[in-house]
Structures are given as C-alpha cells and as structure tokens.
Chains A and B, each alone.
Chain A
Amino acid sequence: MSLRVENITKRFGARDALRGVTLETRDGEFVVLLGPSGCGKSTLLRIIAGLEEPDQGVVRLHDRDITQLDPSRRDVAMVFQGYALYPHMTVAQNIGYPLRVRRRPSSEISAEVEKVAARLGLAHLLRNQPKQLSGGERQRVALARAIIRRPQAFLMDEPLSNLDSRLRIDMRAELKHLQHELAVVTLYVTHDQVEAMTLASRIAILKDGLLQQYATPPEIYHRPANLFVAGFVGSPAMNLLPGTAESGIFHRAGLSIELPALTGARRDLTLGIRPEDVDFSMAEQPGWTPARVWVTEDLGNETLIRLSFDEAFVTLRAPAGTRAGIDSLAWFRIRPERVHWFDSQTTEAIR
C-alpha cells in the first residue's frame, strides 16, 4: 500500500463535493480518477496534495497520516492543467526549483536539471523563458519539474487537456512510458475516458462525490458496475434500453430476449449492449429485429451505424465499407451472451 484515502468527505457551502470516498493504491500504480465535471475528482486530488482540507477522512502516504500536513511537507509533486510554470524564471530555473528549495548545492542542481531535461527532450530550451515555449514544451517542463526530486507520489490534474489532439496522444504515450520507468504511484485526473482507459492500471470512476467503480480498464469496460459507468466509458457509448421482465423474457417493443436466471424476480430492467456486440444486416434474417438506418459514419477502419427503432436508437459497429442508405430498412441482432443487465431502479449491474 502506498497511497490511501479513507472516507474522505468535503462540502463547499451547500454542495457535497465528496461523500465518503475510500481509495487505495499499490506501489508504482497509475490510477486515473475519471468522471464528469463537478464529480469531485479534482477536489480529491487537491485534498491529497494538501491544497484543500477534508471535512472528514484520512490521507495516508506509506502508512503515514498526512491529512494535516502542509503541502510543502508531503513529498508529492503535482502537474497542473495550466502547467503553472514560474513566468519570471528560465526553463532551467523552473525545473531546478524543487531542488533549490531543498538547498542542494548549485552544481548538483544544474547536473540534475540537465539530466532530466535531456530525458524529456528539453536540453536545447533550458535558457528560454516559459512564454517562449509551445504548449507541449511547457507541459514537458512541468513534468520535468515534478520528476526532478523523485517524490513519493505524482498528482496530475488534467495535464494534457490544453494540448491539441495529436500532441495529446503523443504525450499520453510518453507519460505512460515515463511513469512505468519511474515506478512512482501516480494519481491522474481526467474527464476523458479514452485517456483513462489508455493510461490507467486502475480507474476510479466518480460521480456526484461518490466512488462508482474502482477497477482495471478491461474490467470497467467489460463488467461495468452500474448504469453510469456503462454509459460513461466506451466510445461510442454502450446502448442502454430500459424494458420489463415477464416470466423469464425481457420485453421492449420489437425486442424479446430470454433472461438469465440471475435476474431473479425483478420487473424493471435495463439491457446494455456494446456497439461491437450488435450484428447488422441489410437483408431480412429470421429472428432479427427490423429498424431504420438513421445515420452512418464511415471511419475508414470501421463503420458506425445508428439505427432507430421504436423511438430508441441502437448504435453498432459494422465492418469497414458497409453501405447503408439513410432511412433504408435494416435488421439487427443483439448477441444474448454479451448483454449486460442492470436493475433500472437501483441502476446497479446484475451479475
């Protein structure tokens, strides 16, 4: 166990930002806090950093209670969304700042700065001012400043969200590799589910200050704990169709699917199915459901098709080059073995 928060609660005025969140990380783990804006993920990160004080709960780093400790004494490094470089210092001074604060000899500082700068491809920029750098370079300087003193944990608050989309993908890969090399526990806040899936060893999904699910990316994807997680992770999102259960059959106009035994005696169920688990045909097939093609999106490597039936939509992935005119008649089939069942009332997954 390296970083652990226990039962963290925080209110801002009348609003609950966090409602009893407990989270534990393993050594060297890359944990992503994922959720829509206002879900409390940034607040949790700031509490761990010491920039906010929790109303209740404990923060532990390597078994040490650091809840009341000053941010400067926690030995955690943070990378901010806006990079937060010191505008009046050169790149070298920015990177070396954490060592200067610790009163290391200046020869050691400049040697360390050069080492870290070389590692992040900043060696030629050391004499520049932050305002002369591009967004990607500033991001690297912020990272360099965070890693130079080898902290016990990294905290990152949407560090890539100010970059354009191509650079973001490059930096994402670089960040993941760097974190693997450093093997320091990292908490990373984002609202971008693709970023979360690609970076995380485990994802903690938050909504309205409550932890929804804390699991590895494949588990989040294949075994979502509730309707919110199911709808939030995956692009395009999972199809969610509410309906009713009657004597072992799930009904929804135009659709009947046999229910597995575990759904029990519940009446209001929601069927969840990923777009890749829906079959598509332009010709009539026995037992398939008819629908109208609402729109098709050819992505080159695959085609996304959105069908409308019974005032609902089903999105599916079809092979590249699948042709289907808008408003033409088509058929689809939900693969029963891939269906996720949810209780419509509690929104919990039924497993």
Chain B
Amino acid sequence: MKTILKYSAALLAMAFALAPIYWLITISLKTEIDQFASPPVWFTFTPTLRHYAGIFAHDAFGHYFLNSLIVSTCSTLIALALGLPAAYGLARFRWPGDWSRGISFWILSNRMLPPIVTIIPMFLMLREIHLLNSLAGLILVDVGLNLPFVVWMMRGFVEDLPREIEEAALLDGESRLGVLLLIVLPLVRPGLAATAVFCLIVAWNEFLFALILSQTQSAMTLPVGIASHVTQYEIQWGAMSAAGVVAILPVLIFASAAQRYFVRGLSLGAIK
C-alpha cells in the first residue's frame, strides 16, 4: 500500500514536470489546425514531421546549433581549465587569516548579481575589443558566468581529498603542478564531470547575453535562433517547438552520459 502511494506520488510529480515537454513534443508533430483546436487534441491527431523538415531545410538552424555547440563546449573547457587551478589554490595553499573563504565568497558573489545589471557594460566592453557578434565574445561571457561556479564547486571537491596523498606525491619528488595534474585531477574526475555538465547546460541555455551580444545571424546561438521564430507578423509555433525538441537532445545526452558521475559528484565526499 505504501509502495503504491509512493509510486503514484512520484508519477504525479513526473507528470507535472513533464507536461510542458509533452506539450512541446506534440505541438512539434501537429499541423497548425490541430495546434489551435479547441478543445485541444490530446492524442488523436495525425503526426507530421513537416516542422522538423522545415527547420532542417532552413540553413540557419544547423548553423545556430553548431554555434551553440561551439560556444558551450569551448566555454566549459576554458572555465574548467581556469577554475580547477584556482580552486586548488584556494583549497590547499596557506592564506593569511580568513582570506581563502573571503576570496571564495567574493568569487561566488559575482553570480549573485542579476545578469541584466551587467549587460550594458558588457556590451560596451565587447564593442571596444571588437568581440560583438562573434562566438569568441560569447565564449568569453559564458566563461565569466561559469567560472565562479567551477571555483566554488571544485574547491569543495579538492578539500574532500585526503591531504596525505598529495603530500606523499610531493615527497616522491612530484612538483605542485604535477600533483595537480597527475594526482588531484584523476581523483576529482567525478566532481569535474558533474561541474562540466552544469556548465554545459548553463552555456547551452544562456539566452539573455546571447540575445544582446550577438545580433547578426553568424554568431547567433540556438536559444536566440529559436526565439527569432517569433516575428512581427506571426509566431511559428510548429517550427519553434521542433527546434526546441532538437535543442533538448544534447542536454539529455550530456546529462545521461555523466549521470553516474553526477550523482556521485553531488553527494560530497564521494572519494574516500
């Protein structure tokens, strides 16, 4: 009885969470007439792949998709490469007084600012260095968004490693950099994977900065591209939904590939 209740509660929660996804998928498969039918057609419609064919026939979609892929992977890799050494330094080196905590908190506090506050200065700065409407500019901004989170999270993972292992490596003759790359890096891999997935998703979904900072088609990412189906004259629901479904797929793939690490990484102290 208890089990039944538990499962029905879980099913209910799942239905609640997945309803918009269901709606998105069905709309992407419906003709315009079915999309606006009232009362809504739930299951009994003739599916059509017309919208999918439409977006793929439209060159720009593939282009947006590729842009998004480049921006999110590059920004994630850079954020990890910069963030892990920073986190290691904060976790392991001797800082005067309470500086390590102070610096960490300051880094994290950068994420507390509403993005809309920084968007105008960001626009002006990127314009000065000629990175508006470029993928490099978006990568730079996404690194900035993700770096605080990488430092904060990786600092925790490094602190959870037994210090003795690193000391043993130092005495075995290893340099600090060697300790970081050959001892710490392999041991924090689960945490790194979880952090990477988080960064990928943030960068993949990032809309506000991409919208303001990339106004030409050459540098548009997927979220901005999808939104461009809302035009002055009509809203292309079918095309937007189809593009949305395709946009979900990479996130789904990242997350399921790293699921094993994700659960382990988020339950702190996994490496003992």
Contacts and interface: CB of A to CB of B under 8 A. Distances in A.
B175 interface: yes
A251 to B, nearest CB: 53
A192 B224 CA distance: 69
A261 interface: no
A145 B172 contact: yes
Interface in B112-141: none
A84 B167 contact: yes
A100 to B, nearest CB: 9
A71 B169 CA distance: 10
Given A80-B164, A101-B178, A86 B171 contact: no
A82 interface: yes
Chain A interface: which size bin? 20 to 34
Interface string A60-95: 000000000011111011101110111110000000
B50 to A, nearest CB: 51
A194 B132 CA distance: 73
A250 interface: no
A316 interface: no
A62 B100 CA distance: 38
A15 interface: no
Interface string A139-178: 0000001000100000100000000000000000000000
A73 B172 CA distance: 9
A82 B168 CA distance: 11
Contacts of B178: 101
Interface in B148-195: 162, 164-165, 167-175, 178, 183, 186-187
B271 interface: yes
A82 B170 CA distance: 16
B98 to A, nearest CB: 13
Interface in B173-229: 173-175, 178, 183, 186-187
A118 B188 CA distance: 32
A351 interface: no
Contacts of A98: 172-173
A312 interface: no
Contacts of A70: 170
B171 A78 contact: yes
A89 B174 CA distance: 15
A84 B179 CA distance: 13
A86 B173 contact: no
A78 B168 contact: yes
Contacts of A50: 170-171
Contacts of B167: 49, 51, 71, 78, 80, 84
A102 interface: yes
A104 to B, nearest CB: 11
Contacts of B174: 72, 101
Given A88-B186, A101-B178, A51 B170 contact: yes
B173 A76 contact: no
Contacts of B271: 87
A130 to B, nearest CB: 10
Interface in B242-272: 271
Nearest to A148: B172
A97 interface: yes
A149 B175 CA distance: 17
A88 B162 contact: no
Contact of B173 (A49, A72, A80, A82): A72
Contacts of B162: 82, 84
B187 A76 contact: no
Given A87-B271, A101-B178, A72 B170 contact: yes
A214 to B, nearest CB: 25
B242 to A, nearest CB: 44
A76 B171 contact: yes
A215 B14 CA distance: 73
Contacts of A51: 167, 170-171
A305 B141 CA distance: 79
Given A73-B173, A78-B167, A98-B172, 19 more contacts: A49-B171, A50-B170, A50-B171, A70-B170, A71-B171, A72-B171, A72-B175, A74-B171, A80-B164, A80-B167, A80-B168, A84-B162, A84-B168, A86-B169, A86-B183, A87-B187, A88-B186, A88-B187, A97-B172
5 contacts: A77-B172, A78-B168, A81-B164, A85-B168, A155-B171
